[in-house]
Amino acid sequence: MFERFARSWTLVKASASVLKQDKELMLFPVISVIASLLVVASFVLPLFGLLDLKALEQGEREPVWLYGWVFLFYLAQYFVIFYFNTALVGAAMIRLRGGDPTVSDGLQIAWSKVGTILGYALIAATVGLALRAIEERAGMIGKWVAGLLGAAWTVLTFLTVPVLVSRDVGPLEAVKESALLLKKTWGENVIGQGGVGLVFGLLQFLVIVLTVAVLIAVVATKSLFLIVSVIALGGLAMLVLALVQAALSGIYSAALYRHAMGEDSAGIDPGMLASAFAAKR
């Protein structure tokens, strides 16, 4: 177990070395966040005019069309996320094969898979709506069950985008292949995702603690400019950490897929590869 954790964590560090070589890969999470915010605004803002909020507050049931609206929101949101994640993974694959990718290369790869990405977004939106229904209709138990199923779905589909990038298959086939590859990469998949999440979770916690500490000191000055500046810098630091985490996760999935397929990856320190891709016992 400890050997597998060490190998997985080394692979995460190797993914960071790829990001260091191709910092432009950070642009894909940035664009994804901006596009996602636009999607949220385009779906949420119209609701204020379409819904009778007072009636809902008084306990009336949501109109049936709202479920269709939520499904379309999920579909649009997942499409945006998967589209730019495909661009990121596609560019990372070029680097891992020894090439020198550009942002344009990644976007071209994503565009060539746009139909498949839409199909995958449709599957994910259906799953997301089903989990939401379970969570809302079964109380606390439903939330617990939906959380477990959501976590399982995340692990199961972690390699779906690398499969879409590397092979000419449909969305359902890609999800099935990701599930099959899970058997080969179970330890690295779970520990790698958890390792990245743990490290960045700790970093975000430290940023929050530091921001609160500095904010308490600044409040004593009664300077509105300093107070707003500290809050803004803290928020910016959290955003940067989230973007780096997203980029590393995409690169990691590409490297893990190549590992599962028995392929070597260029652009990563050979010593890291020797440790990360050590034969399993």
Helices vs. strands in the chain: H and E counts, helices first: 12, 0
Beta-carbon count within 10 A of 210 CB: 14
248 neighbors 199 (Cβ within 8 angstroms):
no
179 lies in some domain: yes
Pull the structure tokens for residue 146.
């939906």
Pull the structure tokens for residue 59.
């306990």
d(CA 127, CA 13): 32
26 neighbors 244 (Cβ within 8 angstroms):
yes
Q: Give the total number of structural domains in the chain.
A: 1
pTM above 0.85, yes or no: no
126 lies in some domain: yes
166 neighbors 113 (Cβ within 8 angstroms):
no
Q: In tens digits, what is the pLDDT along the chain, a chain of 281 residues?
A: 566 566 666 667 777 888 888 888 999 999 999 999 999 999 888 877 666 555 555 555 666 677 788 899 999 999 999 999 999 999 999 988 888 889 999 999 999 999 999 999 999 999 988 888 887 776 777 788 888 888 888 888 888 999 999 999 999 999 999 888 877 665 555 555 566 677 777 888 999 999 999 999 888 887 888 888 889 999 999 888 888 888 888 888 888 888 778 776 765 655 554 444 444 44
Domain span at residue 161 reads 2-276
281 lies in some domain: no
18 lies in some domain: yes
DSSP-based three-state secondary structure for 102:
coil
DSSP-based three-state secondary structure for 46:
coil
Beta-carbon count within 10 A of 227 CB: 15
Burial class, 132, CB count within 10 angstroms (exposed 0-12 / middle 13-18 / buried 19+) = middle
94 lies in some domain: yes
252 neighbors 15 (Cβ within 8 angstroms):
yes
d(CA 115, CA 42): 22
165 lies in some domain: yes
119 neighbors 170 (Cβ within 8 angstroms):
yes
198 lies in some domain: yes
User: CA dist 192 to 50, 97, 158, Å?
Assistant: 43, 21, 11
The per-residue pLDDT for 260 is: 78
229 lies in some domain: yes
Pull the structure tokens for residue 205.
């916690």
Pull the structure tokens for residue 35.
């596009």
